[in-house]
Amino acid sequence: MNHPICAVITAPGSAAIAVIRISGTGTLGIVAEFFRPSSKLLQAKSHQAVFGTFYNLDQEPLDQVLCTVFLAPHSYTGDETVELSCHGNPDLTGRILATLLSKAELAKPGEFTLRAYLNGKLDLVQAEAVNDLISAPTSKSESAALMQLTGHLSRHLEGLLTQIRDARLRCELAIDFSDQDLPQIDLDHLDSIIKKLITSASDLYAEGQNSIKLREGIRICLAGAPNAGKSSLFNAFLKHNRAIVTPHPGTTRDYLEESFSLSGYPIVLYDTAGLRTTDNIIEQEGINRSAQLMRDSDLILYLYDDPAELEQVDPALKDKCIFVAAKADLRDADFQPTPGHIPCSVNTPDGLKALSAAIISRLSLPQQVFYRPLITNARHLAALKRALDALIQAEKLLSDQAGFEFIAFELITAANALEDILGVVSTDDLLGEIFSNFCIGK
């Protein structure tokens, strides 16, 4: 498994420098074949950088390079590794890589991180966080990924796993010694342990249902009658004129979709066709799409000029609506919005401040992302739900005075679900699916 693999680990294109990583058994010797002074490289200590010249297979000089040595197990992958920094000419980088590939294989997507996982440098949560950190769209997404990479979530899950194993052990001891004249286990204490586990898992799962949006983006739909100010608000959030704004009703016939950061949270914003009765087939199709987006979104900002317009709001969607009294700067000085509705103006310096705060508050998004364990991955959330369901069933069986073997089975199911998150036992198919989403070089 630890045969030498190699790849460029910096972004493609011209730059001041590019970095090529080669990792695996015999890596140092491979690089030394093409590096001068080779003896200095071979004698280097871990984390030492060595400057010299890199040569091709014909022993012709290609570039002056800086080789940083990482001896096993003190490297990203856990294997012997060299990171070679050269000038960032893509043609030059390609020729150096081609020379190294005469002795090594090209790394597959995510293969360096896969080796780090297999070598015990990272658990599966941390390994997946590497990819999340690379692709994080906003500062809050970055903080959540970094929290997982540094082990906050893993340590929390390991703590829950230890408590589950303790409860299971109590059940198994009761089974093993049921036929002996020994004191029975404390059922109240066991019940207390399981209830605390349910509370912890429930809290983590409930917050995860919102926190997962840090990774996938929060879908917000702008809705309302024609000329309610949706496109103006869309442009104001994006800080550029993406949507066409005119005084003529029905300008927006199809929806627009853009992403932006709101207080560090990733938002996917939809500008939709105005909701009204129309005989225009094209406009009606846009309205139908608007209705579907409203149903699919996490939050709806429903804009209105006249409160009477709110009568057409689908009652089934009201719970995820924030009602926005738009064009607040054009209203009378004594205007007071309906309680709970947010006045908004795109033409005043703080016109979006109250609306932005209302969005963050409504979504119950975590403010201090880095210092708390958060689930932001759909795979993790599904596994946590399996663990929570098993714990709830274990508590029910205990209260029904079922046999300890049935309670132990549910606790084993809960433990297995958390182990799936951490990668304690992972199938090759699962690992292949996870790491195939990484970029080459990571």
Sequence ranges of the domains in the chain? 5-122, 130-211+375-422, 215-362
What's the whole-number mean pLDDT along residues 6-29? Answer: 94
SS3 per residue for 159-178: HHHHHHHHHHHHHHHHHHCC
76, 116 Cβ separation under 8 angstroms: yes
Angstrom distances, CA of residue 97 to CA of 15, 71, 101, 294, 355 = 16, 21, 6, 50, 52
Amino acid in position 429: D
Residue 168: which of 423, 352, 415, 336 has the closest Cα?
Answer: 415
* Ordered strands of the 218-224 beta sheet: 256-262, 265-271, 218-224, 299-304, 321-325, 342-343
Q: What would the pLDDT profile of 220-277 be if each residue is shown by its tens digit? A: 999 888 877 888 888 888 886 665 554 545 555 567 888 888 888 889 999 887 776 6
Fold of 5-122: Gyrase A; domain 2 (3.30.1360)
Three-state DSSP at 255 gives coil
One fold for 5-122 and 130-211+375-422: no
Measured CA to CA, the distance from residue 44 to residue 66 in angstroms comes to: 12
Dihedral sign for Cα 220, 224, 226, 228, please: negative
The per-residue DSSP string of 57-111 comes to: TTS-EEEEEEEEEE-TTSSSSSS-EEEEEEEE-HHHHHHHHHHHTTTSEEPPTTH
Measured CA to CA, the distance from residue 24 to residue 108 in angstroms comes to: 14
Residues in the chain: 442
Specify the CATH class of 130-211+375-422 in words. mainly alpha
Q: What is the pLDDT of residue 44?
A: 95
Q: What would the pLDDT profile of 44-95 be if each residue is shown by its tens digit? A: 999 999 999 999 999 999 999 999 999 999 999 999 999 999 999 999 999 9
Specify the CATH class of 215-362 in words. alpha beta
Residue at token pair 């990479």: 149
Q: What would the pLDDT profile of 308-331 be if each residue is shown by its tens digit? A: 778 778 888 888 899 888 877 777
Q: What is the pLDDT of residue 64?
A: 96
∠ CA 170-173-179, rounded to 5°: 140
